[in-house]
Structure 1
Amino acid sequence: MSDVSLLDTLKWSIGGISSLAMMFGGVVPYIPQYLEIRRTENTEGFGHWFELPLLFQSVIMNVAMMMLISLCVSIRKRGQLIHSKEHVFTDFDYDFFWEWTDMQSYVEFMLTFSTMGCLLMYLFIDSAVFVETAGFISVLTEALLAVPQFYKNFITKSTFGMR
């Protein structure tokens, strides 16, 4: 076997394993909860207590996404021939909301959004309706993350650039 075909096989294998990890990795933290419910035959507390691996997965994913967004913003900014003025925190222009021109604006938005969410949760922590609604919205948001990509692929009739 030549070095080129060995390298191609290795790349294909790593790509396949990575794809499988992305598809099934989010399910792994639920396995202990499934086994516990099956063992005890008690569903009390299902969905109300989250395992620590879910918290760690969330933190790791947030760090990874922040790194990816930082890279994309810096490359997009570098590719601009004429650098526009830096947007400041109060520049909430709806037409350019997701077109971040600098990482600081994105971090400021995320900190504001997170602070507001934490404040609301603190104020309404005793309201089961609010807490369950917040949980539903977050799960729904996560489930619909791929919709913009699917829509873009549908409109362009292409999956070019999709990973």
Structure 2
Amino acid sequence: MSIVSFLLRFLPDVFMVFGGALPYLPQYQQIRETRTTGSFSKHVCLVLLIANSLRIFFRVGEIYETALILQAVVMIFAMFALVELVVRVNHSKGRSERFMGDMKPEDFWNWSFFVDYLQFIVLFWIVTAFITYIFLHSPTYFSVLGFLALGTEAFLATPQLWNNYQNKSTTGMSMFMVMGWLIGDIFKTGYFIFLNQPFQFVLCGSLQVTVDCLIICQVFYYKSSSKMTVDPEDLTAVRREKAA
């Protein structure tokens, strides 16, 4: 095998393993430098922790590329690191202490100590492992598990889509972030198709690309709508003001 062909085969795998976690590095750095979490939601970490954990269990019944399971492991470590930082920053502000053991639904995933988040995910792993063991020889179970794992991640951007629709605006949303989603999701979906991965990967990757495209359409639609709804009288007033 030539060096070129080796790189063409090796580099996509490297991108798949680490590419998913890269967009969260700037977020981590920003929180660490500013000592504030801003509008960042820890629930993003929860979704990705659940989705990637289920993907690992999915491999017990459905063999897929090793790069994809390594990607799940890397993403889990990245989300744990991000949650730990967010919890540490929030705890330093002297907020009231909340524990997983309090069993309060309103405090779910808003606990005060990182160990509670770790315990919850470990408990989730134990329960999922037990259920997987029971249905170890059930193709239907693993089919559903695959859709749950990849479907959860596939709809990660839908809250942004819905928020744009409700506000009838995309003001404040980074176009570069959405384009990054789109490029990454197109690459992932092509990777799944090219390597003949399980159907769940291809379907959910396609859903991610669709949601990304809808968000981009919203950007142009709401921008044009805002231009069309400008009051001509306001424009005339601006011209008179400039003339004055």
Say yes or no: TM over 0.5: yes
The answer to whether the Cα contact below 8 Å between 1:100 and 1:106 also exists between their aligned partners in 2 is yes
Q: Give the Cα separation in 1 of the matches to 2:108 and 2:163.
A: 18
Structure 1 runs not aligned, ≥5 long? 1-20, 27-46
1:159 aligns with 2:172: yes
Using CA pairs under 8 Å that are at least 6 residues apart, name the structure with larger relative contact order, 1 or 2. Answer: 2
Q: Quick check: 1:107 aligned with 2:107?
A: no
How many pairs were matched up? 118
What CA distance in whole angstroms lies between the structure 2 residues aligned with 1:78 and 1:161? 29
Task: Determine if the alignment matches structure 1 residue 123 to structure 2 residue 141.
Answer: no
Q: Distance in 2 between matches of 1:76 and 1:125?
A: 41
4+ residue runs over 6 A deviation: none
In structure 2, what is the equivalent of residue 97 of structure 1? 108
CA contact (8 A) 1:73 1:101 kept: yes
Unaligned residue ranges in structure 2 (runs of 5+): 1-14, 21-60, 178-244
The residue aligned with 1:9 is: none
Per the alignment, residue 142 of structure 1 pairs with 153
Q: Aligned ranges for residues 1-163 of structure 1 at < 5 Å?
A: 25=19, 48-80=62-94, 83-87=95-99, 89-152=100-163, 158-159=171-172
- Aligned-residue sequence identity (percent) comes to 31
Report how far residue 132 of structure 1 moved: 0.7
Q: Judging changes above 3 Å, is the alpha-carbon distance between structure 1 residues 78 and 154 closer, same or farther for their aligned structure 2 residues?
A: farther
Query: 2: CA distance between counterparts of 1:76 and 1:160?
Result: 24
Q: What amino acid sits opposite 1:96 in the alignment?
A: D
**What is the alpha-carbon root mean square deviation over aligned residues?**
2.7
- Higher normalized helix content (fraction of residues): 2
TM-score with structure 2 length normalisation?
A: 0.42
Contact 2:97 2:111 in 1 (8 A): no
Normalised by the size of structure 1, how large is the TM-score? 0.61
